[in-house]
């Protein structure tokens, strides 16, 4: 009887090779899909689009005395976007915990910080895509307003549009940060809405309140950015409000998610 000698492979029987790292692009793609194909997300996106288009129609066809330009029509949806995009960002994080799928998610990718970063990227992509959709829808809406016998303007200011899109991204990331910090959808939404309203009252309480609102009210500090009129004086308050409402809560949220016990 003869026996066959197998070459040494450097691995003992039963050895388990280390699993490959999940590419970040794949994580982001999965988070984008989760952000757009769940029932809650679809309801929010539908309400966002309907609300924004409704605002366009009311402004251009019903109320406006002068036909606004296509850029004014698109950016006029800002209040609607600043309401729904942060809520969408909140849901993108907190839905993992409300549906108890966090255990599965972090089992597939144990590095929880990467998962939260992928959620932030996914929310950014959705915010940019939504902004682009608003610009695209603004063209036929503006053209329809010409039925009143006036000539609409289709000129665009690229700098202002980039600033407006960046503003939408910031509000969305604010929602992601609050969701990561609180890990509770209802609480995060309440905090965001109350803070948005409260800063208006803080600014009326005196010189100190006015200064605090000027530096830390994200709704106010992003106005120059959204209008494409950033100045050196506006940079400081913008960075301060971003730090307070986006950077700090997101970093604290990452620390909390990394330490929390999954059940």
pLDDT of 16 > 50? The answer is no
Sign of the CA dihedral with 225 first, then 229, 235, and 241 last:
negative
How many angstroms separate the CA atoms of 124 and 171, rounded? 10
Q: Hey, what are 57's tokens? A: 């129609």
Q: Answer whether 137's CB lies under 8 Å from 53's CB.
A: yes
Task: Name residues whose C-beta falls within 8 Å of residue 262's C-beta, 6 or more positions apart in sequence.
Answer: 102, 103, 106
pLDDT of 232 > 80? The answer is yes
Q: What digits encode the pLDDT tens for the residues 138-170? A: 888 888 777 666 677 788 899 999 999 999 999
Q: Residue range 165-177: average pLDDT?
A: 97
What is the model's pTM? 0.88
Structure tokens that stand for 18 in this block: 């280390």
Structure tokens belonging to residue 3: 């026996």
C-alpha closest to that of 90 among 6, 14, 183? 183
Instruction: Report, as an integer, the average pLDDT of 200-205.
Output: 89
Domain boundaries in the chain? 24-259
pLDDT at 102: 77
- Residue predicted with more confidence, 54 or 175: 175
Residue 12 in this model has a pLDDT that exceeds 80:
no
Answer for the pair 71, 162: CB distance below 8 angstroms, yes or no: no
Rounded average pLDDT over 190-210: 92
Place of tokens 């409000």: 241
In this predicted model, which residue has the larger pLDDT, 117 or 39? 117
Calculated CA dihedral for residues 172, 174, 177, 178, nearest 10 degrees: -110
């Amino acid at each position: 009887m003869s026996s066959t000698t197998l070459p040494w492979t450097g691995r003992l029987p039963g050895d388990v090779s280390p699993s490959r790292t999940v590419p970040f692009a794949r994580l982001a793609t999965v988070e984008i899909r989760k952000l757009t194909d769940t029932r809650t997300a679809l309801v929010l996106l539908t309400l966002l689009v309907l609300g924004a288009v409704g605002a366009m129609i009311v402004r251009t066809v019903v109320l406006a005395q002068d036909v606004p330009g296509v850029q004014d029509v698109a950016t006029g949806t800002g209040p609607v976007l600043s309401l729904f995009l942060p809520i969408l960002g909140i849901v993108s994080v907190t839905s993992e915990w409300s549906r108890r799928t966090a255990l599965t998610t972090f089992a597939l990718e144990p590095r929880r910080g990467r998962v939260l970063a992928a959620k932030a990227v996914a929310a950014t992509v959705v915010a940019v895509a939504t902004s682009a959709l608003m610009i695209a829808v603004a063209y036929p809406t503006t053209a329809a307003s010409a039925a009143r016998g006036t000539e609409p303007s289709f000129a665009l200011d690229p700098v202002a549009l980039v600033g407006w899109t960046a503003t939408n991204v910031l509000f969305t990331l604010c929602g992601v940060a609050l969701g990561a910090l609180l890990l509770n959808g209802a609480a995060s939404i309440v905090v965001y809405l109350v803070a948005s309203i409260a800063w208006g009252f803080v600014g009326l309480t005196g010189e100190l309140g006015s200064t605090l609102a000027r530096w830390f009210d994200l709704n106010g500090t992003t106005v120059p950015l959204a209008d494409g009129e950033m100045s050196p004086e506006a940079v400081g308050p913008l960075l301060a409000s971003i730090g307070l409402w986006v950077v700090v809560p997101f970093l604290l949220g990452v620390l909390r998610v990394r330490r929390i016990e999954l059940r």
